[in-house]
């Protein structure tokens, strides 16, 4: 179903001064309260009625494609259904309004949410402990690299400053490494798209700090020799970091801890159904094995039983009889990563999702995510090149390179044609090692019927590419706007509205 094409004026171009909504009682004039020099002179914001505001943002929402709109097979982003019960729980007033500096005594339930989630994640991913502090995946990567740096500093091995990343890695991996002053060494994957332990052996050494990997990797392929890779890195004195971007593929099946990883992060906005919200807020807990727990960012939540004794639990347990405290008194901690303790509303959502599934449910989630991805792969492999045509995990990559050679149609054009069919496009041109790459991740919440419709649409587009490529090049035509002049946007940046000059 196409999104509507009406133009919407900016909120600054509508409204009249004096059309204000009366949300609050009238205050005394500002200049009677503070010295004139402290006050601003103008404030060129519009006054709009609430009805105008409602129509404006309703129209903007109608020109925005969400998971709620239709199928969203955006590889690497795990665009699964976001259950509404999660939002309802995050919006319970007692949890929504609690202040981060409220005494622990008055925030026991909120702390219980954090503790239960942290314990469940630790058990689910085979880590000794998590800190819920980082605000997003890249932020957690930074926290993890700071942990690595602190660990080697304390060990007297501060010379270790090389981060090994496979050439399939996310851009955040090298960017995070740069933020701790580490150098990046990119490791070429083998012909089957995997990291070869023998190649790893050639590059590790006394300068190796950490190897950052995800498994399944960004091609959607499982790394079966991950244990050997970990052994090689560990033997050289380095650490193994698991990028949790692809965690939706492996719950209940294997755990980063079992694969030999020492640190990891999770994107709760992927695997644990936190709404992406147009690009955030996310949440990125960082987890570590036992030898690194003291470095985790502050704060962590401690539990005590009725007698006041500290509670250690390898996984989740009932909390009604426990009491909790935020612990900031950890001398080896890398510090804190953000203003307050966690993106707490998202911890509520993630825990509600864990409760909705339990251990068996989460294992099923991963299996069905893998089933859906492979079903699409097997259903389009005869019309598009699938460079790694084998059992993938939760996502797979196709390449439009042969199609481009034959018809001139690129991955980008296929993406735009899918928009015209009412689907969101797959991720294109990532990972960088596959030319004309399309990365498709359906997630487990889509039905066979939805996948069948998508497969039919995709096949028709490829057929059109062969028969009438101009039609595909013209796409999208059923969207609110056509292809956008990105060069102009970058060369003549227009990043804000400006009030008209007074006449």
Partner 1 sequence: MYTPHTDRDIAAMLQVIGVDSLDDLVRVPAAIAPRGAVEVTPQLSEIEIAARFRRFAERTTAGEFTSFLGAGAYRHYIPPVVGALAMRGEFLTSYTPYQAEVSQGYLQAIYEWQTYIALLTGLDVANASVYDGATALAEGVIMAVNATGRKGVLVSRAVHPNYRAVLRTYAEGLELTVDELPYAADGRTDLGTLDALLAEQRYAAVVVQSPNFFGAIDALPPGAAERIRATKTVVIGVVAEAMSLGALATPASWGAEICVGEAQSFGNAIAYGGPHVGFIAASEAHLRRIPGRLAGKSVDSEGRTAYVLTLQAREQHIRREKATSNICTNQAHCALCATIYLAAMGRTGLRNCAALNVARAQELARRVSAVAGYARRFEAPVFNEIVVRVPGRAADVLAALEGRGIVGGLDLGRFYPELADCILMAATELTTAAEIDALAAALSEIPARAAARV
Smallest gap from residue 503 Cβ to partner 1 (A): 20
Minimum distance of partner 1 from residue 466's CB (angstroms): 23
Task: Tell me, rounded to whole angstroms, the distance of Cα 199 from its chain centroid.
Answer: 30
Rounded to the nearest angstrom, the gap between the alpha carbon of residue 317 and the centroid of all alpha carbons in its chain is 27
Nearer of residues 204 and 349 to partner 1, judged by Cβ: 349
CB closer to partner 1 out of 66 and 387? 66
Q: Which runs of consecutive H residues, i.e. helices, occur in 245-321?
A: 256-259, 268-271
Residue closer to partner 1 by CB (options 415, 465) is 415
Q: Looking at beta carbons only, is 173 or 293 nearer to partner 1?
A: 173
- Which phi and psi (to 5°) does residue 491 adopt? -80, -35
Residue 250 CB, shortest distance to partner 1, in Å, is 8
CA distance 31 to 25: 18
Say whether 492 sits in a helix, a strand or coil: coil
- C-alpha distances in Å from residue 119, one per residue of 326, 379, 401, 449: 15, 40, 46, 37
When the beta carbons of 307 and 314 are compared against partner 1, the nearer one is 314
- Cβ distance to partner 1 smaller for residue 179 or 467: 179
Tell me the residue length of the chain: 503
Give the residue with the Cβ less far from partner 1, 238 or 297: 297
Output the smallest distance, CB 348 to partner 1, in A: 7
CA distances from 269 to 76, 81, 113, 248, 343 (A): 12, 11, 17, 11, 11
Q: Supply the minimum distance, in Å, between the C-beta of residue 30 and partner 1.
A: 5
Q: How far is the CB of 96 from partner 1 (least distance, A)?
A: 5
Report the alpha-carbon distance of residue 283 to residue 288 in Å, rounded. 17
| Cβ distance to partner 1 smaller for residue 47 or 406 | 47
Nearer to partner 1, 435 or 480 (CB): 480
Task: Give the integer Cα–Cα distance in Å for 328 and 331.
Answer: 9
Smallest separation, CB 12 to partner 1 (Å): 6
- Looking only at Cα atoms, what is the longest distance across the chain? 76
Q: Exposed/middle/buried for 487, CB within 10 Å: 0-12, 13-18, 19+?
A: exposed
Alpha helices (H) along 261-410 = 268-271, 344-380, 401-407
Task: Decide: 5 and 480 in contact? Cβ < 8 Å.
Answer: yes
* In the complex, least distance from residue 429 CB atom to partner 1, rounded to whole angstroms: 10
Least separation in angstroms between CB 340 and partner 1 = 3
The Cα 426–Cα 434 span in angstroms is 14
**Residue closer to partner 1, measured from CB, 46 or 387:** 46
Q: Give, to the nearest 10 degrees, the angle between helix 172-179 and helix 137-155.
A: 40
Alpha carbons within 13 angstroms on the beta-carbon side of residue 227 total 5
Minimal distance, residue 236 CB to partner 1, in Å: 20
Residues contacting 49, CB < 8 A, separation 6+ = 15, 19, 21
């Amino acid at each position: 179903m196409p999104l509507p094409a009406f133009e919407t004026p900016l909120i600054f171009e509508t409204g009249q001064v004096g059309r204000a909504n009366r949300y609050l009682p009238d205050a005394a004039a500002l200049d009677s309260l503070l010295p004139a020099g402290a006050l601003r002179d103008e404030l060129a914001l519009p006054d709009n009625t609430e009805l105008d505001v409602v129509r404006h943002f309703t129209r903007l929402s109608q020109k925005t494609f969400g998971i709620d709109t239709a199928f969203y097979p955006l590889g690497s982003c795990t665009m699964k259904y976001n259950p509404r019960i999660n939002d309802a729980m995050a919006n319970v007033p007692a949890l929504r309004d609690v202040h981060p500096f409220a005494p622990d005594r008055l925030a026991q339930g909120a702390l219980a949410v954090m503790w239960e989630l942290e314990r469940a994640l630790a058990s689910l991913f085979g880590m000794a402990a998590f800190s819920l502090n980082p605000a997003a995946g890249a932020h957690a990567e930074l926290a993890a690299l700071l942990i690595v740096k602190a660990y080697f500093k304390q060990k007297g091995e501060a010379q270790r400053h090389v981060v090994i990343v496979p050439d399939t890695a996310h851009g955040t991996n090298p960017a995070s490494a740069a933020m701790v002053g580490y150098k990046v060494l990119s490791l070429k994957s083998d012909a089957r798209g995997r990291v070869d332990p023998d190649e790893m052996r050639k590059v590790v050494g006394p300068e190796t700090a950490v190897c950052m990997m995800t498994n399944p990797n960004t091609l959607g392929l499982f790394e079966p020799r991950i244990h050997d890779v970990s052994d090689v890195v560990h033997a050289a004195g380095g650490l193994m970091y698991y990028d949790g971007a692809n965690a939706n593929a492996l719950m209940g099946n294997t755990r980063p801890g079992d694969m030999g990883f020492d640190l990891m992060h999770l994107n709760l906005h992927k695997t644990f159904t936190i709404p992406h919200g147009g690009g955030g807020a996310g949440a990125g807990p960082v987890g570590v094995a036992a030898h690194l727990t003291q470095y985790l960012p502050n704060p962590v939540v401690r539990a005590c039983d009725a007698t006041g004794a500290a509670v250690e639990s390898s996984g989740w347990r009932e909390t009604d009889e426990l009491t909790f405290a935020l612990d900031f008194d950890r001398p080896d901690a890398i510090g804190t990563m953000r203003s307050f303790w966690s993106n707490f509303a998202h911890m509520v959502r993630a825990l509600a999702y864990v409760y909705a599934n339990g251990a068996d449910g989460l294992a099923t989630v991963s299996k069905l995510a893998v089933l859906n991805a492979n079903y699409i792969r097997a259903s389009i492999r005869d019309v598009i090149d699938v460079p790694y045509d084998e059992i993938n995990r939760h996502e797979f990559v196709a390449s439009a390179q042969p199609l481009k050679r034959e018809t001139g149609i690129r991955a980008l054009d296929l993406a735009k044609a899918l928009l015209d069919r009412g689907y969101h496009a797959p991720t294109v041109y990532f990972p960088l090692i596959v030319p004309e790459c399309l990365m498709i991740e359906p997630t487990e919440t889509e039905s066979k019927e939805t996948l069948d419709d998508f497969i039919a649409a995709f096949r028709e587009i490829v057929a059109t590419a062969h028969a009438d490529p101009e039609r595909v090049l013209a796409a999208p035509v059923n969207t609110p706007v056509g292809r956008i002049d990105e060069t102009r946007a970058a060369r003549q940046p227009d990043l804000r509205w400006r009030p008209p000059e007074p006449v």
